[in-house]
Amino acid sequence: MRMVPTLSRPLATCSLVALDLESQQMGVAVAGHWFSIGTLIPWAEAGVGAVATQAGIRVEYGIDGIHLMVTGKTAPQALELLLMRDPEAALRQVAMIDRQGNLAAHTGARCVAESGHHFGKNYVTLANMMSKPGIPQIMADAFENEKGDFADRMLGALQAAHDAGGHLRPPQSAAMLIVNRHSVDHVAQDVVADLRVEEHLDPLKELKRLALLHRAYKGASLGIQELMSGDVEATMKQYEEATRLCPHNHELRFWMAVALGNAGKWEQALPIFDAVLEAEPSWNLLIPRLIQVELLHDHPRFSNLTLA
């Protein structure tokens, strides 16, 4: 359950609400000049839809918008109902998309200039309190032309707004929330990514770093799952990709070695253990503790390690 503070002032923000047909994912990415905007602006639920509520933020557009789509309303129907109920609708900027790809957006007449939104195919870009007009179109162009997966393209749209000098005030925080288009009724799998930079001098750069880490950890977890099914080759490919993405992250390498060792694949596990222990000798202290509680199978290579 999110803590959702109320605000009495508009926030300078740019965001993107989108559905990606290739990955069958949908979500929101946002950057702006306020602390922890990831707790306020992006809302999404697998199998339902996604919402961004900004400018004069009213979190009910996210909470109630998702609820209305759960009950069968399309994104345009949900937004229309919420605007009708809101006496301060002229201060709001909202975008919604449902799992069918129906889009809806609203930029109120009292949103601080420069403000606006742009409809694309299965996405909406929106921005307010920008230094100049045209930022939603710039974001749209970047989203359509950026290389990479859904997350990369969403991050590219945010970066394009920044590179174009769109922010009247430099971004202070950023966030990205991605869920599955069709729910599998498993929270851990339905939420593809929920990344937030609460406060940073360069929140977009930090959000990209977190996205890279997220991809590496997710790949490593997938590799361990594949190992459980006996596919060592697939596991090693995931390990190599995780190492490529985060070459200095020894945590991922260590636990991959543990998984390989426990599967009896010591030929693959020991070189990884050796590399990790050489880089960070403190892992030597953990190995005998894992063996003691039967979370790691013993091996003669570890005979000189103690619980000390």
Query: What one-character-per-residue DSSP string does 148-183 give?
Result: SSHHHHHHHHHHHHHHTT-BSS---EEEEEEEESS-
211 within a domain of the structure (yes/no):
no
Task: Report the run of H or E that residue 3 belongs to, with start and end.
Answer: none
Q: Are residues 225 and 193 in the same domain?
A: no
210 within a domain of the structure (yes/no):
no
Q: Are residues 53 and 134 in the same domain?
A: yes
Q: Are residues 93 and 167 in the same domain?
A: yes
Q: With the C-alpha atoms ordered 271, 274, 280, 285, is the resulting torsion angle positive or negative?
A: positive
Q: Are residues 197 and 220 in the same domain?
A: no
What pLDDT does residue 44 have?
Answer: 98
Q: Are residues 183 and 245 in the same domain?
A: no
Helical H runs in the chain?
60-70, 75-85, 135-145, 150-163, 187-190, 203-228, 232-245, 250-262, 266-279, 283-292
- CATH number of the domain enclosing 95: 3.60.20.10
Instruction: Map 55-97 to HEC letters.
Output: ECCCCHHHHHHHHHHHCCCCHHHHHHHHHHHCCCHHHEEEEEE
What pLDDT does residue 256 have?
Answer: 87
Task: Indicate the residue among 201, 230, 248 that finishes a domain.
Answer: 201
Q: Which residues contact 52 (CB under 8 A, 6 or more apart)?
A: 15, 16, 17, 28, 30, 41, 42, 43, 62, 94, 95, 96, 126
Beta bridge partners of 92: 55
Structure-token pair, residue 152: 């990369």
Q: Are residues 186 and 38 in the same domain?
A: yes
Q: Are residues 177 and 250 in the same domain?
A: no
Q: Shortest CA distance to 114 belongs to which of 190, 176, 183, 168?
A: 168
Task: Indicate the residue among 148, 169, 201 that finishes a domain.
Answer: 201
Q: Are residues 227 and 169 in the same domain?
A: no
Torsion angle (degrees, nearest 10) of CA 86, 112, 171, 35: -40
167 within a domain of the structure (yes/no):
yes
127 within a domain of the structure (yes/no):
yes
208 within a domain of the structure (yes/no):
no
What pLDDT does residue 7 have?
Answer: 57
- CATH number of the domain enclosing 243: 1.25.40.10
Q: Are residues 114 and 180 in the same domain?
A: yes
Q: Are residues 142 and 84 in the same domain?
A: yes
What pLDDT does residue 187 have?
Answer: 67
Residue pair 136/29 in contact by the 8 Å Cβ criterion: no
308 within a domain of the structure (yes/no):
no
Phi, psi values for residue 216, rounded to 5°: -65, -45
Residue pair 43/50 in contact by the 8 Å Cβ criterion: yes
199, with CB counted inside 10 A (0-12, 13-18, 19+), is exposed
232/107 Cα distance (integer angstroms): 52
Task: Indicate the residue among 150, 176, 201 that finishes a domain.
Answer: 201
The count of structural domains within the chain is: 2
What pLDDT does residue 152 have?
Answer: 97
207 within a domain of the structure (yes/no):
no
3 within a domain of the structure (yes/no):
no
Q: Are residues 189 and 59 in the same domain?
A: yes
Q: Are residues 298 and 248 in the same domain?
A: yes
Range of the domain at 280: 216-302
Residue pair 75/103 in contact by the 8 Å Cβ criterion: yes
- Sheet containing 123-128, strands listed edge to edge, beginning at the edge strand earlier in sequence: 116-120, 123-128, 13-20, 25-32, 173-180, 191-197
Decide: helix, strand or coil at residue 216.
helix
Q: Shortest CA distance to 113 belongs to which of 137, 93, 89?
A: 93
Residue-by-residue pLDDT tens, the chain, 308 positions = 454 544 556 889 999 999 999 999 999 999 999 999 999 999 999 999 999 999 999 999 999 999 999 999 999 999 999 999 999 999 999 999 999 999 999 999 999 999 999 999 999 999 999 999 999 999 999 999 999 999 999 999 999 999 999 988 889 999 999 999 999 877 678 999 999 999 999 999 999 999 999 998 888 887 777 777 778 788 888 888 888 888 888 988 898 899 889 889 899 999 999 999 999 999 999 999 999 999 999 999 898 876 65
